[in-house]
Amino acid sequence: MRLTKKERQSYLSQAFEQNPFLTDEEVAKKFHVSIQTIRLDRLELGIPELRERMKHMAEKKFDHVQSLSPNEVIGDVIDLQLHKSGISLLEISTEHVFERNQIARGHILFAQANSLAIALADWKVALTGNASIRFVRPVRLGEKCIAFANVAEAHDSRLHVGVQTKVQEEIVFQGDFEVYRVGDDKGN
Amino acid sequence: MRLTKKERQSYLSQAFEQNPFLTDEEVAKKFHVSIQTIRLDRLELGIPELRERMKHMAEKKFDHVQSLSPNEVIGDVIDLQLHKSGISLLEISTEHVFERNQIARGHILFAQANSLAIALADWKVALTGNASIRFVRPVRLGEKCIAFANVAEAHDSRLHVGVQTKVQEEIVFQGDFEVYRVGDDKGN
DNA sequence: TAGCATTTAGGACTAGGTATTAAAATGAGG
DNA sequence: CCTCATTTTAATACCTAGTCCTAAATGCTA
């Protein structure tokens, strides 16, 4: 026997969820019913047409791309003594965390520390060479991360910077950065 | 005077990049030319029609959703064998670079590698513990970074992942990540 | 077998295009 | 100023993947 309406609609929801790019025609063939039946089903189930589904996904993706591209330096540098030390502050907000568990993504903490390390160097072009880092404990949504950077070694074209990030006196991240200078111009 | 063809086409590309949801009609009004002109322009510039653009974006988004829960990955994961290896692609665009020198910020490369390393772990909650990284050479605007990740050691709650990022066969970044599991649930 | 839900069919209309052909408008050079 | 090429506009037929609406054909059941 052919499926009942309910059964069909149930499989239908699944099918569209699994592959949102299905046209009504494809689905109609799959279930051996007419295209009109599928359209009635979509109407009843509140499933929008293919083009609307794609539009939605595209919009979501677009939002994403935008929020994912923070050109700014990550964290607010609140104190900076060139070639000596610096402090940066970052409050973990929703765009910094994994949706699932509200834990900050590793590269966010890294970015804060890295930005600060580079800011310490008073060079036109400063880049990170090597780095060794340790995520001591997970940081959660809403926590305020304070990164303390100190220059351990200073050469004329290289800087060794140690960074410790704390949440309320508790160390959450530690890193050693080797920052180097490109070209020979000094200044900013 | 009205814009020349070249000027118009240059602005056009920008406009579509900035807002891919523009219809030809809207753009035509914006530039005070006919809809046909815009269509010729798109043809010459190789810009697909609105629906195709949306489809593309939707497909990209869908890819992500399948490989990992969304918006948690920087770069496009194009191949993934859990607990074994993975490949991620990232084209360096303007929002990834220092304005001054068009060089990609370190944390962008780190984020790509880190995201990939975490994607490799088939765990509900996976976090980065330690990492040791090396930025071999600066990466510039427009370059396509391909990160290759391989699991070096696999324990039941820890993974050692080596990542090499290349631009056209040339290594630009290298990193070792120690990813660990939180909680005891396996699976996704 | 009447009455209901369910399914199918058909036609008109839509957005946002492609593809093609043709006619204008414009600009530059001799 | 005329001519030729480039550029722009127009007009038409066609496409997909639908919507919305009306109507007819089934199927099931009391």
Whether the pLDDT of residue B132 is over 90: the answer is: yes
Please, which pLDDT band fits residue B38 given cuts at 50, 70 and 90?
A: very high
- Look at the block and give the residue holding tokens 């360096």: B92
Same structural domain for residues B85 and B132?
yes
Q: Which of B20, B96, B127 sits opposite A106 (nearest CB)?
A: B127
Whether the pLDDT of residue B53 is over 70: the answer is: yes
Same structural domain for residues A35 and A117?
no
CA angle B117, B123, B127 (to 5 degrees): 50
Q: And the tokens for B32?
A: 């005070």
Residues A54-83: tens digit of each pLDDT = 999 898 777 655 444 444 567 878 888 899
Residues of B in contact with A125 (CB under 8 A): 100-101, 103
Domain with A98, as residue range(s), is 76-181
**Has residue A26 been placed in a domain?**
yes
> B95 with B108: CB under 8 angstroms?
no
Give the domain-ending residue among A67, A87, A112.
Answer: A67
Same structural domain for residues B43 and B75?
no
Give the number of residues written for chain B. 188
In this structure, is the CB of residue B6 within 7 Å of any atom belonging to strand C?
A: no
> A90 with A112: CB under 8 angstroms?
yes
Residues A112-160: tens digit of each pLDDT = 999 999 989 888 888 999 999 999 999 999 999 999 999 999 998 899 9
Same structural domain for residues B131 and B99?
yes
> A49 with A83: CB under 8 angstroms?
no
**Has residue B147 been placed in a domain?**
yes
Whether the pLDDT of residue B150 is over 90: the answer is: yes
pLDDT value, residue A101: 86
- The DSSP-derived string for B5-30 is HHHHHHHHHHHHHH-TT--HHHHHHH
pLDDT value, residue B184: 62
Same structural domain for residues B85 and B32?
no
The distance in angstroms from the start CA to the end CA of chain B is: 60
> B101 with A125: CB under 8 angstroms?
yes
- Among residues B29, B28, B30, the alpha carbon closest in space to that of B39 is found at B28
> What's the mean per-residue pLDDT of chain B?
86
pLDDT value, residue B73: 60
pLDDT value, residue B114: 93
Residues A5-56: tens digit of each pLDDT = 888 999 999 999 888 999 999 999 999 999 999 999 999 989 999 999 999 9
**Has residue A152 been placed in a domain?**
yes
**Has residue B12 been placed in a domain?**
yes
- Among residues B188, B147, B187, B181, the alpha carbon closest in space to that of B167 is found at B147
Same structural domain for residues A175 and A92?
yes
Same structural domain for residues B9 and B76?
no
Provide the number of structural domains found in chain B: 2
**Has residue B60 been placed in a domain?**
no
**Has residue A187 been placed in a domain?**
no
Same structural domain for residues A30 and A116?
no
The CATH number of the domain holding residue A92 is: 3.10.129.10
B107 touches chain A (CB under 8 A): yes
Residues B10-30: tens digit of each pLDDT = 999 999 988 899 999 999 999
The CATH number of the domain holding residue A28 is: 1.10.10.10
Rounded, the Å distance between the CA of A6 and C1' of C4 is 17
Give the domain-ending residue among A15, A41, A67.
Answer: A67
Same structural domain for residues A105 and A152?
yes
In this structure, is the CB of residue A49 within 7 Å of any atom belonging to strand D?
A: yes
Same structural domain for residues A131 and A177?
yes
Same structural domain for residues B145 and B87?
yes
**Has residue B36 been placed in a domain?**
yes
**Has residue B164 been placed in a domain?**
yes
Give the domain-ending residue among A25, A45, A67.
Answer: A67
Q: Which of A61, A69, A114 sits opposite B107 (nearest CB)?
A: A114
Same structural domain for residues B29 and B91?
no
- How would you class B35 by CB atoms within 10 Å of its CB: exposed for 0-12, middle for 13-18, buried for 19 or more? middle
Rounded, the Å distance between the CA of B11 and C1' of C29 is 29
- For residues B137-150, average pLDDT: 93
